[in-house]
Chains A and B, each alone.
Chain A
Amino acid sequence: MESTTTSVPKSDADNWENFRDEDTMQQQSAILAEEAEKIPFIGDKEPISALAVEYQSGSPILMQKIKVLDEQYSSIRRTRGDGNCFFRSFMFSYLEHILETQDKVEVDRITVNVEECKKTLQNLGYADFIFEDFFALFLEQLESVIQGKDTSISHNELVTRSRDQSISDYVVMFFRFVTSGEIQKRSEFFEPFILGLTNSTVDQFCKSSVEPMGEESDHVHITALSDALGVPIRVVYLDRSSCDTGGISVTMIFYTPSNACRLALTLAREDGSDLTRPYMD
C-alpha cells in the first residue's frame, strides 16, 4: 500500500489523463504558498498613507477616498486575499477589541450567542463532533484574551495566533458554521438575497459558498454572522465609484444586529482581494 498518494508514478507521466487534475491542484497550492509568503493572514499595522503609495498611479477618485479614510482612521492591517479574509479580519478585530477593553460583559453575552448557534446546528441535524472542535477553539481564544489567568495571552501573542494557520483556519471554520447555521435557520429571510446572488437554493448556497474554506464572503455572509453573534460590522468599500453631488465619500455599509453593543471594523478593497482593519483614533 502506498504511504502517500499525492505523487504521480513516473510511468504514468506520459498519460496526461493520470495527472492533469492533480497537476492543476499542485499548481494552485504552489500559487497559494507563494502568496502566503508575501502577505501573512493578518499584516502589521500600517499608516493609511501606505495605501496611497500603492495607488499613486491609479484612479484619482481612489486617491481622494484614501485621503478621506486617512482623516477618519489612524492605521490599517492588510489580510491575505485567500477567500477567508473577511472572517480572518473579523476574528482579529473582535479578539483585539476584547483584549483591549477587557469587556467581560461582552464575553458573557457572545458566549450565550455561541451556545445558541450550537443549538441551531444541532436542530439542523449537524452531528456535534463535526463542529465542536471549531467552537471549542474559538471559545478558548476568547477566554485567553481576558487577562489575569494562566492561559491569558498578550497582544503580540494574539497577532502570532492570528497568523498561525492551525488556529486561524479553525476559527474561520467556526465562523463559517455559525454563518451557515444562521442562514439555514432563517432561510425565508435570506432566500431572496441568495436567489438574486447565485440563483441557487439556500441549502446549495450554504454547501457551496459558505461551508467550504476559501469561499469569499458577501452581504449575505456578513449579515448572517453579524446577526448570529450580535456584533455590528462596518465594511468600507474602497472603489472607483463617485457621488453625483461631486463630493468624495467612502461607501460604508453597516451591519447592525438588533441587540448590538460593540463595533468591529473592516475595510474592503474594490477587488475584494484584501480586507484591512482601520483603527479609530
Chain B
Amino acid sequence: MDAMKGKQGLTNQLFLFNPSFIGSCLSQCSRLLALRMSTPARKRLVRDFNRLHQDPPAGISGAPHDNNIMLWNAVIFGPDDTPWDGGTFKLTLQFTEDYPNKPPTVRFVSRMFHPNIYANGSICLDILRNQWSPIYEVSAILISIQSLLCDPNPNSPANSEAARLFSENKREYNKRVRETVEQSWTAD
C-alpha cells in the first residue's frame, strides 16, 4: 500500500514536469522504488531525484533513464536575458557505484559552442574533476553547469575558438551562441 501511495505521489509530480526528452517516467518510478534498498549509490540517486523534483531549480530538469538509474537525461534551459536565452540543452549524466564519492561523467548531447565544453560534449568544470565533493547532488551539478554557460572560465579552454572569440570578439561569440541556441530546438 505504501509503495502504491509513493508511486502515485511521484507520478503526480512527474506530470507537472514533462519535457518530451525525459519521457517514460511512469514505469521508471516503480523501478526507482524497487531500487530503494539497493546500493548506497542507487539509494543516494533516488534521494537526488526526489530533491530535484520537490525543489526544482529554475530552468533545470532531469530524470534517470527508463530501467537504468545510473544514467540520467537532463535539460538545461539557457538563462534569461543572456545570449543563451531560449536554448534547451540536453545532457547525460553517467553515474558509477562510486557515486557520491566520485562525480558522474556529464556530457552535453546538444551541440555547444562554449569555451569550457569540448567538441564531444564533455565539460571542463572543476567540481566534476578534482574539486568534486559528495555535497554536490544532481541539482547542484546542473545549477553549476547552468551558471558556467554565462560565466565561462577562459583560462582552461576546451574549445579554443570559443575561448578566443569570448575574449576577443564578443559580438561574433554571441552570434555563434545564438546559432547554438537555434540548433538546440531542432536537433534530436
- Chain A residues packing against B (C-beta within 8 Å): 1-6, 8-9, 12, 15, 17-19, 21-22, 25, 126-127, 129-131, 133-134, 169-170, 173, 176-177, 207-208, 211-214
Contact = CB atoms under 8 A, between A and B. Distances in A.
Interface residues of B, number: 29
Contact of B134 (A1, A9, A130): A130
Interface in B82-140: 92, 94, 101, 105, 107, 118-120, 122, 124, 129-135, 137
Which of A19, A130, A214 has the most chain B CB within a 10 Å cutoff? A130
Q: Which 10 A-B pairs have the closest CB atoms?
A: A211-B133, A129-B47, A5-B105, A212-B133, A5-B94, A18-B120, A169-B101, A212-B131, A211-B135, A5-B107
B92 A1 contact: yes
Contacts of B53: none
B25 interface: no
A213 B101 contact: yes
Contacts of B65: 1
B37 to A, nearest CB: 14
B136 to A, nearest CB: 9
A208 B131 contact: yes
20 contacts: A1-B92, A6-B94, A12-B119, A17-B118, A17-B119, A18-B120, A19-B120, A22-B122, A129-B44, A129-B47, A129-B51, A130-B135, A170-B101, A173-B101, A173-B134, A207-B131, A212-B131, A213-B101, A213-B132, A213-B133
B88 to A, nearest CB: 18
Contacts of B131: 207-208, 212
A169 B130 CA distance: 15
B120 A212 contact: no
Contacts of A4: 94
